[in-house]
Structure 1
Amino acid sequence: MTKFKYLKTFLSALSLCAALSTTAFAGDYTVVSGDSLYKIGTLFNTSANNIMGSNNLKGTTIYPGQILKVPCDTYTVKSGDSLYLIAKRYGINLSDLRKANNKWNNIIYIGQKLNLPKINSTAGTSSNSKQPTESKPIVNYTEADLDLLSRLVTAEAQGQPYNAQVAVASVVLNRVKSSQFPNTISSVIYQKINGYYQFTPVKNGWINKAATSTAKKAAKEALYGADPSKTALFYFDDSATNEWLWSKPITARIGNMVFVK
């Protein structure tokens, strides 16, 4: 009888440990200047007291560089991912994703683990109750379309800021959606008006050069809704002297590139 009671107690304790492990704090967050437990708690949908308890903190004082356990799911970066696409897939605000990972540039690498703020599947909570789902592209495309769009981005904006590369792809997609232009990616890129190609790389052959991995990522980001060009239909280098282009409303300037409607 004594052995039975001991076994029962042991199993109960084991069950409790298992239950606790399923709600374990899965993410590591590195404190930055200006942080507070309240701000971090708000970001990860928890309380300051909860963070204090889970990190064995005796007070609310934290310091830059300190690593805290936080309640959130994590995501392992795969080929073709970008911060924008990950945020869109999980229904997370992009700025929250950046804050949760102290990631203020667009460089991520395969195998990198990212915190997903306000998503904690083990605790059954999510700030927006959305399940991870694949987002739909704003324009239907094939792999050949993606490759062509990526090659155009490479030819037109290699060496420019990443957002400029996304914006170049966005201009093509904005044309696809506009009644003023053809309705497919390839027909927009290869379009001639009054005998002139719309995109210089088609004329000079640079469109045939292989796309960079960054350009592919930028093109895909545009396909899934990112538009740093702010609905522009044209772009050009800021050294251009074409008065007709400069007369159009400027929607964005990124690097040396100007985007207009």
Structure 2
Amino acid sequence: MNFKKIRTIFFAAAFSMLSFTNVYAASYTIKPYDSLYKIGLLFKTTPDTIMKNNNLATSQIYPNQVLKIDSKTYTVQPSDTLYLIAKKYNISIDALIAANNTARYIYPGQILNIPGGIVFKGTSSTKSPIVPYTQSDLDLLARLVTAEAETEPYTAKVAVAAVVLNRVKSSQFPSTIKDVIYEKSSGYYQFTPVSNGWINKTASADSKKAALEALYGSDPTKGAIYYFDDSATNKWLWSRPLALKVGKMIFTY
């Protein structure tokens, strides 16, 4: 019997089993003021993917909740520092800290998540919204999101709200949320739900959260001022520079 050959086969099989790990092997503990959008940016994924991988029925999350995340991990060695680990993986120290809810102190044997994305730089709940709003404005914005994107991915919901706010900030459009949503151009409302009455439907919980995220700085479109369904035939809309495509929705500048 060739024991050397058997040993080689055994170690190869063992290595294969050790190398096969669940794609969602990493875990992330929710911090106060976290959102699926922010976590998605950090780990270079989408809110909808996180929801699917964790069997979440809604985007509601809470502090200290643990989520499964698709992320590389690294075991800290005795000579390691956050700087050296961040440099090794070409990521920022801030991202490394954010992905692990850790202080700047690390210890040998500690397992760290290695994020593939960036730290959210929008405003937090302790700062001011990007445009002034009332509770009535928030409800109206959330109702528009519900009417336009209720069956679309969560990112699309945030993007719809962001487009409204981008218009508020633009000199091309009215300067309040209500006036933007109810604006008419050449006798027609800018947003279809206003003309067909869907704007009057009660806003969903996800739409309210998406509206709040946009109000406090989240903008997956990075400045878009138009959106439409991918079945649209308007050539002028399709001629606009593309900002984002998510689900069946197109967002343009």
Fold agreement, TM-score > 0.5? yes
Q: Note closer, same or farther for the CA distance 1:133–1:186 as it changes in structure 2 (3 Å cut).
A: closer
- Does residue 167 (structure 1) correspond to residue 119 (structure 2)? The answer is no
CA distance in 1 between partners of 2:104 and 2:170 (Å): 44
Instruction: From 35, 50, 55, give the equivalent of 1:82.
Output: 35
Q: Note closer, same or farther for the CA distance 1:133–1:167 as it changes in structure 2 (3 Å cut).
A: closer
Match of 1:113 in 2: 65
Match of 2:193 in 1: 201
Tell me the TM-score normalised to structure 1 length: 0.58
Matched letter for residue 184 of structure 1 = T
CA distance in 1 between partners of 2:239 and 2:44 (Å): 38
CA contact (8 A) 1:97 1:117 kept: no
CA contact (8 A) 1:150 1:212 kept: yes
Match of 1:40 in 2: none
RMSD: 3.7
Q: Note closer, same or farther for the CA distance 1:141–1:133 as it changes in structure 2 (3 Å cut).
A: closer
Deviation digits for residues 60-100 of structure 1 (CA, Å, limit 9, x no counterpart): x89846xx9x9x9x55678xx62346x6xxxxx941598xx
Secondary structure of the 2:130 match is coil
Q: Shift of residue 238 of structure 1?
A: 1.0
CA distance in 2 between partners of 1:150 and 1:194 (Å): 26
CA distance in 2 between partners of 1:259 and 1:122 (Å): 39
CA distance in 2 between partners of 1:104 and 1:247 (Å): 30
Q: Note closer, same or farther for the CA distance 1:220–1:133 as it changes in structure 2 (3 Å cut).
A: closer
Unaligned runs of 5+ in 1: 1-60, 88-92
Matched residues, percent identical? 53
Matched letter for residue 95 of structure 1 = L
* Structure 1 runs (4+) greater than 2 angstroms displaced: 61-65, 74-78, 81-85, 106-112, 114-123
Q: Shift of residue 196 of structure 1?
A: 0.9
Match of 2:168 in 1: 176
CA distance in 1 between partners of 2:125 and 2:236 (Å): 43
Secondary structure of the 1:105 match is helix
Instruction: From 33, 37, 42, give the equivalent of 1:95.
Output: 42
CA contact (8 A) 2:35 2:61 kept: no
Q: Shift of residue 109 of structure 1?
A: 4.0
Q: Note closer, same or farther for the CA distance 1:248–1:62 as it changes in structure 2 (3 Å cut).
A: closer
CA contact (8 A) 2:143 2:207 kept: yes
Q: Shift of residue 175 of structure 1?
A: 0.2
Q: Note closer, same or farther for the CA distance 1:173–1:118 as it changes in structure 2 (3 Å cut).
A: same
Q: Shift of residue 139 of structure 1?
A: 1.3
Q: Shift of residue 119 of structure 1?
A: 4.2
CA distance in 1 between partners of 2:204 and 2:32 (Å): 19
The structure with the largest alpha-carbon Rg is: 1
CA contact (8 A) 1:237 1:256 kept: yes
Match of 1:211 in 2: 203
Q: Shift of residue 150 of structure 1?
A: 0.5
Match of 1:141 in 2: 133
CA contact (8 A) 1:154 1:212 kept: yes
Q: Note closer, same or farther for the CA distance 1:113–1:76 as it changes in structure 2 (3 Å cut).
A: farther
